[in-house]
A and B are shown apart, each in its own frame.
Chain A
Amino acid sequence: TGEAEAARAAMGGSASLLPRELLREYQELTFLSKQEILLAYKRFSELLPKEERENACSARVPKSQILTLPELRANPFQHQICRVFSTSDNGDHSMSFEDFLDMLSVFSDSATSDVKSHYAFRIFDFDDDGTLDRKDLEKLVNCLTGQGEESRLSNAEMEQLIQNILEESDIDKDGTINLSEFQHVVSRSPDFARYSVLQ
């Protein structure tokens, strides 16, 4: 219908809504509430160029656009997060709407600590080999203290820190932290439950 299209184009193109069965399904499959899913849909469509907003559900947003979101803009793990949650086949780490929802669901308040720790492990695993070895830990600490030469720890301090971390979390003493050890140490960590992102 031509007039409906014109009206929608006049309103700016964000008038298309999520179909109700899809909304219910997303509520069941993620930890997000109905309001949060609708808000996520709105924000996702804003990242798309106007022509693609009609079928936002099947569109993919390139990584550079995702990184403009305020939650990710200031996050030192932004590249890792895009890599972990993206399901794109050609390695460009673009995200579909479902990937976006997955990301928000894992970082929401009601996600179980199991799920959070699983994804946190994958985010911290920079070389994607299934364990956190010394190189991964070193990159992790550098991400935390900030980019730039003056914000890095000295070599001696880094050694001491990694030694302490492995002492606390490496149960089988093989020099790396695997998923079970990570989940075990993180379950006792009182700050980990606050891994959440506001909308």
Chain B
Amino acid sequence: EVFLPEETRGAAPVDFLQQLPSYQSALRRRATGGTQERRAAPQGPAGLLAAEGHRPQQEGDEVTARPAREYPLTIAEKRRLRDCQQADIKYLSGWKQWKRTSSKSLKKVLSELKELSSYLELWRHDIHSIEGKFGTGIQSYFSFLRFLVLLNFIIFILMFSLVTLPSIISKYGMFNSSFAKIPPKNIEPHCTVYEPSGNKGLVYFYTYLKDLLSGTGFLEVTVLFYGYYTIDAEWIGIHKYNLPLAYLLATFAYLALSLIWIIKRSVGGFKQNLVHNEDPFQSYCNKVFAGWDFCITDPNAARLKHRSLQYELQVNLEEERLKRKEADRTMKEKLCIYFLRIFINIIVIAVLSGCFYSIYRATVFSQENSNVSIRHDGISNTNFQANLLVQYLPSMVITLANFIAPQIFSFLIRFEDYSPAFEIRLTLMRCVFVRLANIGVLLFSLWSQISYCATDKCNACGYNYELYPCWESEVGQEMYKLMIFDFIIILAVFLFVDFPRKLLVTHCSCKPVQWCGLQEFGISDNVLEIIYGQTICWIGTFFSPLLPAIATIKYFIIFYIKKISLIHTRKPAARPIRASSSNFFFLVVLLIGLVLAFIPLGISIAHIPSSKACGPFRNFNTSWAVVPHTIDGFPTRLRQVLYGIASEAFAVPFFMVICLVMFYFIALAGAHKRVVEQLREQLVMVRFDPLFCTPKI
């Protein structure tokens, strides 16, 4: 009864499982009238239903019929099927009828809502047109950029409403609010001296420009930096608002929000295949069956896609042949290659150390010679350009390192004799590491300056109070400068490199220029650029709560810059990455950036003593100390529960339970894998068994 004569497409081999005795007895145990209902349905469309053989409608009280549109039939046939289904409904009880109609109307409402919400999508038309002209690989970069704009905007809303808005309200006394600055107890008075030199009196105009670019002067005392929030207690109306706690919790909230959103996005786009070993992105079936990009409408783009597909297939086949040859390598050759690889890795480490050391020296030099140390000497009219240059020295060195290091890496990797796909991945990983580690080194060198203490007076404060009375604002200013400089570089490259190059290539027909040609739109380089910017934003938001707003505006403008650059001054890459794997890759690197952002923030919050002269954490040892302080103020019961959760008596059993759950899932996955292998073998054997063979028409 399983192999109906109407079956036209060969779906037979999988259905033999329903003949197994164990399966039949399970069916009988769940004995319902399910199979009778199926036979009662009229022959035409139901024959097609059976012929699909996907979800045999056996058990269950209700016929789990799918809506008509999910069947691969023409509209006329779907109409007939739908009429049959509606006729079927009359046979069901009243309750089931109501369930069916209500689920149908719910689906309709949801689809209407989805339609409406798609109008609110930012840049929908722009991204669609880019997809049509350049394919989904490049489109995924722009979707990623849009995601970052939204993420930064939400983070800004979070920080603004929890931290900035209450501070502004209480400082200006709106809505009957007030704030209090409690003088810190048990702190040496010299630690609490902080006079930011907001511009007083007559100043040159360029001072404002300098302040705008480096975050000092008049900007230092605004809402932009940590120093403004020197509030210890706030009353809005009659309610007390604990600003220090809110500041810390808002920081944790935006980190958690970013983490959850990124993980949700990466899981949604990637189906992990735990059962089969092969890498789903590299399988030939994926390349051939899902290879063509149906969004392409432009014949030129189509030609490029054909060529890139041909290239990709040839490269992969070549790689496979090489791999087979590699297995035949002699011992001597293997040793040679390993030695070469170790040597090249040493060179890579040397290059990295060079970068880190130069960033360290640049930061130290910049801190020693910038306005910070000069402030006390009273010299305020130093050479404007030189001062700005010194302030921006760390940013410039980092940008230079981010530019040079990848070139060196792609040059070196050729000698390491890896397969082309692995070469690309390894170079990318090294570039990612360089970019993110550079920020870490900058922060480390800043901290070494901040916590350098030679005198006893300094040790009493815990940080260098003379040069950095409000060190969080200093760090915030460095992050602000990094972000502004990053934006300036992107703008400068667009205006002064891309456009002249394009003009040169179109108007000058001499050979070397034509051989150089236009630059490719390298997706991975652009993505690393914006992930670098986003990591700065994540680290900097704790020290400068308005930084996400600047990041939002920056990415908003960058979208249009990149779009114009792509359309007018770049040629598409000859070897584009696939859309699905590139989406996953972007999000993984972003996640690495976020995790790396946790480290400096964690150290700042929990380890380094907060500055006693400014900020909401003046009365605490470290920024984290506000949490235990608040918990101490809770009722005894709640306090005991919270201490209990944090104690070993709870943590160890919890950890063991988690391990058990993990082992269970690993065992389950292993069992599924074994079953799949057995079934595959059985399917091969079944082909030769005369009992189950279907005669092919």
- When the two chains form their complex, are residues B310 and A190 in contact, meaning their CB atoms are under 8 A apart? no
- When the two chains form their complex, are residues A74 and B296 in contact, meaning their CB atoms are under 8 A apart? yes
Closest to B81 in A: A29
| Set A168, A173, A191: member contacting B291, Cβ < 8 A | A191
- Kindly state whether residue A145 has any CB partner on chain B within 8 Å: yes
Residues of B within 8 A of A119 (CB): 72
Within the complex, what minimum Cβ distance (angstroms) separates B672 from chain A? 14
- When the two chains form their complex, are residues B131 and A35 in contact, meaning their CB atoms are under 8 A apart? no
- When the two chains form their complex, are residues A185 and B10 in contact, meaning their CB atoms are under 8 A apart? no
Within the complex, what minimum Cβ distance (angstroms) separates A40 from chain B? 12
- Kindly state whether residue A21 has any CB partner on chain B within 8 Å: no
A171-B680, A195-B290 known; A186-B285 Cβ under 8 A? yes
- Kindly state whether residue A77 has any CB partner on chain B within 8 Å: yes
**CA of A148 to CA of B233 in the docked complex: distance in angstroms?**
76
- When the two chains form their complex, are residues B317 and A160 in contact, meaning their CB atoms are under 8 A apart? yes
- Kindly state whether residue B261 has any CB partner on chain A within 8 Å: no
Closest to B273 in A: A188
- Kindly state whether residue A62 has any CB partner on chain B within 8 Å: no
- Kindly state whether residue B684 has any CB partner on chain A within 8 Å: yes
A102-B75, A171-B683, A179-B9 known; A192-B289 Cβ under 8 A? yes
- When the two chains form their complex, are residues B280 and A190 in contact, meaning their CB atoms are under 8 A apart? yes
- When the two chains form their complex, are residues B687 and A188 in contact, meaning their CB atoms are under 8 A apart? no
Q: Scan residues 154-173 of chain A and give those whose CB is less than 8 A from a CB of chain B.
A: 157, 160-161, 164-165, 168-169, 171-173
- When the two chains form their complex, are residues A191 and B9 in contact, meaning their CB atoms are under 8 A apart? no
Within the complex, what minimum Cβ distance (angstroms) separates B126 from chain A? 12
- When the two chains form their complex, are residues A114 and B301 in contact, meaning their CB atoms are under 8 A apart? no
- Kindly state whether residue A3 has any CB partner on chain B within 8 Å: no
Residues of B within 8 A of A140 (CB): 288
- When the two chains form their complex, are residues B82 and A178 in contact, meaning their CB atoms are under 8 A apart? no
A124-B289, A141-B313 known; A188-B684 Cβ under 8 A? no
| Set B11, B288, B298, B687: member contacting A74, Cβ < 8 A | B298
Q: Scan residues 268-294 of chain B and give those whose CB is less than 8 A from a CB of chain A.
A: 269-271, 273, 276, 278, 280-281, 283-286, 288-294
Number of residues from B at the complex interface, CB < 8 A: 72
| Set B269, B271, B295: member contacting A188, Cβ < 8 A | B271
| Set B75, B128, B269, B297: member contacting A101, Cβ < 8 A | B75
- When the two chains form their complex, are residues B580 and A178 in contact, meaning their CB atoms are under 8 A apart? no
Within the complex, what minimum Cβ distance (angstroms) separates B318 from chain A? 9
Within the complex, what minimum Cβ distance (angstroms) separates B139 from chain A? 10
Within the complex, what minimum Cβ distance (angstroms) separates A134 from chain B? 13
- Kindly state whether residue B136 has any CB partner on chain A within 8 Å: yes
- When the two chains form their complex, are residues B69 and A31 in contact, meaning their CB atoms are under 8 A apart? yes
Residues of A within 8 A of B578 (CB): 191
- When the two chains form their complex, are residues A145 and B310 in contact, meaning their CB atoms are under 8 A apart? yes
**CA of A197 to CA of B273 in the docked complex: distance in angstroms?**
27
Contact pattern, A 28-65, Cβ under 8 Å of B = 1, otherwise 0? 11110111000000000000000000000000000000
Number of residues from A at the complex interface, CB < 8 A: 70
- Kindly state whether residue B249 has any CB partner on chain A within 8 Å: no
- Kindly state whether residue A94 has any CB partner on chain B within 8 Å: no
Closest to A141 in B: B288
Within the complex, what minimum Cβ distance (angstroms) separates A2 from chain B? 35
Residues of A within 8 A of B294 (CB): 71, 75, 107, 194-197
| Set A143, A151, A173, A193: member contacting B687, Cβ < 8 A | A173
Q: Scan residues 423-472 of chain B and give those whose CB is less than 8 A from a CB of chain A.
A: none
Q: Is the interface of A mostly helix, strand, loop or mixed?
A: helix
- Kindly state whether residue B306 has any CB partner on chain A within 8 Å: yes
- Kindly state whether residue B579 has any CB partner on chain A within 8 Å: yes
**A-B CB pair tally, cutoff 8 Å:** 193
Within the complex, what minimum Cβ distance (angstroms) separates B132 from chain A? 6
- Kindly state whether residue A115 has any CB partner on chain B within 8 Å: yes
- When the two chains form their complex, are residues A173 and B684 in contact, meaning their CB atoms are under 8 A apart? yes
- When the two chains form their complex, are residues B284 and A33 in contact, meaning their CB atoms are under 8 A apart? no
- Kindly state whether residue B248 has any CB partner on chain A within 8 Å: no
Within the complex, what minimum Cβ distance (angstroms) separates B417 from chain A? 22
- When the two chains form their complex, are residues A151 and B310 in contact, meaning their CB atoms are under 8 A apart? yes
A105-B69, A144-B306, A160-B320 known; A196-B284 Cβ under 8 A? no
Residues of B within 8 A of A146 (CB): 303, 306-307, 309-310
Residue from A70, A106, A120, A144 whose CB has the most chain B CB atoms within 10 Å:
A144
- Kindly state whether residue A118 has any CB partner on chain B within 8 Å: yes
Residues of B within 8 A of A190 (CB): 269-271, 280-281, 286, 290, 580-581, 584
Residues of A within 8 A of B72 (CB): 106, 114-115, 118-119
- When the two chains form their complex, are residues A87 and B310 in contact, meaning their CB atoms are under 8 A apart? no
- When the two chains form their complex, are residues B13 and A189 in contact, meaning their CB atoms are under 8 A apart? no
- When the two chains form their complex, are residues B295 and A144 in contact, meaning their CB atoms are under 8 A apart? no
- When the two chains form their complex, are residues B292 and A75 in contact, meaning their CB atoms are under 8 A apart? yes
Residue from B54, B68, B288 whose CB has the most chain A CB atoms within 10 Å:
B288
Residues of A within 8 A of B297 (CB): 70-71, 73-74, 198
- When the two chains form their complex, are residues A145 and B295 in contact, meaning their CB atoms are under 8 A apart? no
Within the complex, what minimum Cβ distance (angstroms) separates B676 from chain A? 10
- Kindly state whether residue B550 has any CB partner on chain A within 8 Å: no
Within the complex, what minimum Cβ distance (angstroms) separates B397 from chain A? 40
**CA of A118 to CA of B273 in the docked complex: distance in angstroms?**
22
Residue contacts A-B, CB under 8 angstroms, 11 given: A29-B68, A71-B294, A76-B292, A145-B313, A153-B310, A169-B285, A178-B9, A179-B9, A180-B13, A191-B580, A194-B294
Please name the 7 residue pairs, one residue from A and one from B, whose CB atoms are nearest each other, closest first.
Answer: A146-B306, A74-B302, A191-B290, A118-B72, A190-B580, A145-B310, A192-B290
Q: Other CB < 8 Å A-B pairs besides A114-B54, A115-B70, A172-B13, 6 of them? A: A76-B292, A102-B74, A112-B70, A131-B10, A168-B278, A192-B286
